[in-house]
Chain A
Amino acid sequence: MSGLLDLVKPRRSLSRRKRADRLFAACGAGAVFLVVLWIGFLFASLLVRALPAMTAYEIALTVQLEPEQIPPDNPRRGNWRGVLAQAVADLLNAEAQTLDAELIPSERVAAKLLLSKGAAAELRSLVIKNPSWLGKTGTESARTVFLPVSDSLDQYAKGLLVPSTQDGALVSPKTAELFDQLRQAGVVQRKFAWRFFVRADSRFPALAGIAGAVKGSLLAIMVCLFLSFPVGVAAAVWFEDFAPEGRRTDLFRINVYNLAAVPSIIFGLLGLAVFLNFFSMPRGAPLVGGMVLALMTLPTVIVVSASALRAVPSNLREAALALGASRQEAILHHVLPYALPGILTGTIIGLARAFGETAPLLLIGMTAFLTSVPEGISSPATALPAQIFLWADQPERGFAARASAAIVALLIVLTLVNLAAILLREKMEKGRSR
């Protein structure tokens, strides 16, 4: 009877223990809350800062591509600045009745005030891509194109810059007013900044994009994957299945495992000394970057694969061997497939870490300023984190937003990669209910 009483009416010490239990749970929940808050704050502030890079103000210009200005046989030699100056003057003339007369600048400076410094290069590359536009005269030669407005005006329109009359101010109130009126007339429009996603780096923020860096990163990661995955898995298999037991193997193992904790810049130094200086491989190429990242990722892949292999039930290996399979057959047919989800997850996480790595890439020259998307693994390239580093270091304000946007892009890639790792693992583990 007293035993039952003990159960229904908890003793004092029990209620104290329960309180401690609740407190313990609350502490955990509080910690999670803090983490979520902190990450949310980080993401939100990044997004807010990245948003301006997602849109660009562009001006609709009708350019006259007359042969005397732009020789059709050699458009690179064309007088692009002259064409643009003319187009801006024409525009201001055409809009004369909607604009305040005293705001209109002189023809000489109008283009400079309104257009991005990269506008001429932009127009040139646009026309070179469409050669059929050339060699025409009169109204036939006219084309309407959208070109980015000047960096300062872009900033002003996004509320990041206040016009001022002071000397050396980036935007004067007069220019700002003119810009606003052009916007009202529909000549200047806010557009999605597609250039950001398809272009390589540029001296002009309006023209700079992450495509070059993303491709460089992907190429380097490919190289890293193709080197570190097979080598890492092979090494792990050796450690787990073939290595002779003994102190020498233990020494090997400890050394490899310790490599996983070596700071990545050391691998960069190694890459610089060995791949670039000794083997004279191309500087700043994704091939070298990938090799350095592979050195860095390899210990992780080995450690993770070895523990995945160790987790394979020994009776699986024994079953295959008892049927007369050789060691190699038992491993390839049964052990590795069973361990694969673990190995892949580990490899993907290792690659994700390599994807965000900057330090080793700095040393092997993958931080060069490059205005074209790299073609292959041996052409000079830069990587996404290196690009962020470069942009974050620029004085122009337009680059700050781009750096934030590139960080967001990097985080999105990493999140997707990790998500893929989780899904892959779940899917593969479903196939082996043991």
Chain B
Amino acid sequence: MTQTQTTATTEGADNEICLEARNLSVRYGKVQAVKDISLVVRARQVTALIGPSGCGKSTFLRAINRMNDLIPTCVVQGSVRLGETEIYDPAVEVEALRARIGMVFQKPNPFATSIYNNVAYGPRVQGLVRHRRETDERVEKSLRRAGLWDEVKDRLKESGTSLSGGQQQRLCIARAIAADPEVVLMDEPCSALDPIATARIEDLMDELRARYTIVIVTHSMQQAARVSKRTAFFLLGELVEEGATGEVFTNPQDERTLNYVTGRMG
């Protein structure tokens, strides 16, 4: 683990900007969930969002792939750029956007179809695969990247819901990366898993960050410290502090961050 930490601090320090939120505010009706947040997420590294419950981490995350569009009362102001593209531009097709930004949810939510079809779904609706061989390749590649291939290669036809919780979550990761997104958003991906399954997913994130930009919401400070390179601390809808993970945990600039990471506030 310590080795991971040291490599994380040296490599990719000046990676290009992948995502940039500028003065982003989100409210649900009258409830202001995210207040004027500006945050830069750099490519091919893990950024952790931490903060107490209800502080707007999920809302921020869901603003990035516009999942909040589904909530009728939700109003978004400000801007989020993915590379050069403003994602709230009316010309942006939200389906295409979500194909570039994968998402993994708190509770594993595989479709009630086969493992194979679970992974193939994204590429299929995106029209990325034209025939069976291409689909096969993609399914295998994604399952390998998600570290699930060896466990399921003989049972691809079985239902995705027949897997264990940890396997289901890795299946969801495989599904999310099958359409080759640039960003993978993870909203407390390990909170429904046991420590061993959690460790596997954390190892997996370490491998995935070579290819994908990962933004993870977590309640576990240890997890944030283990997997992320940069950490953002949210409080009551505001971004209090953002910086290198080691800095945020050992030498925070803001007193509120210090209170939170030392467990004096939760």
Interface residue ranges, A against B (CB under 8 Å): 244-245, 313, 315-326, 329, 333-334, 337-338, 431-434
Contacts and interface: CB of A to CB of B under 8 A. Distances in A.
Given A245-B73, A324-B125, A431 B109 contact: no
A338 B161 CA distance: 13
B122 A324 contact: yes
B49 interface: no
B106 to A, nearest CB: 9
Interface of B: 65, 67, 70, 72-73, 95-99, 102-103, 105, 107, 109-112, 121-122, 125-126, 159, 161-162, 172, 175-176, 179
B177 to A, nearest CB: 11
Contacts of A325: 95, 121, 125
28 contacts: A244-B72, A245-B73, A315-B105, A315-B109, A316-B109, A317-B70, A318-B105, A319-B105, A322-B67, A322-B98, A322-B102, A322-B103, A322-B105, A322-B176, A323-B176, A324-B95, A324-B96, A324-B122, A324-B125, A324-B126, A325-B125, A326-B95, A329-B125, A432-B112, A432-B161, A433-B112, A433-B161, A434-B161
B72 A245 contact: yes
Contacts of A321: 67, 70, 98
Contacts of A313: 109
B213 to A, nearest CB: 16
Q: Is the interface of B mostly helix, strand, loop or mixed?
A: helix
A313 B161 CA distance: 14
B121 A323 contact: yes
A323 B161 contact: no
B64 to A, nearest CB: 11
Query: What are the 5 closest A-B residue pairs judged by CB atoms, nearest first?
Result: A324-B99, A322-B103, A323-B122, A432-B112, A315-B109
Contacts of B110: 319
Given A319-B109, A323-B98, A325-B95, 12 more contacts: A245-B72, A315-B109, A316-B111, A319-B111, A320-B111, A320-B121, A322-B98, A323-B121, A323-B179, A324-B98, A324-B122, A325-B125
B125 A323 contact: yes
Contact of A338 (B105, B112, B175): B112
Contacts of A333: 121, 125
Contacts of B126: 324
Nearest to A322: B103
B76 to A, nearest CB: 16
Contacts of A329: 125
Contacts of B112: 337-338, 431-434
A384 B22 CA distance: 69
A323 B102 contact: yes
Contacts of A337: 112
A434 B112 CA distance: 8
Given A323-B175, A324-B126, A318 B107 contact: no
A322 B112 CA distance: 16
A324 B161 contact: no
A179 to B, nearest CB: 67
Tell which of A315, A324, A326, A329 has the most Cβ of chain B within 10 Å.
A324
B155 to A, nearest CB: 16
Nearest to B175: A323
B95 A315 contact: no
A319 B110 CA distance: 8
B179 to A, nearest CB: 6
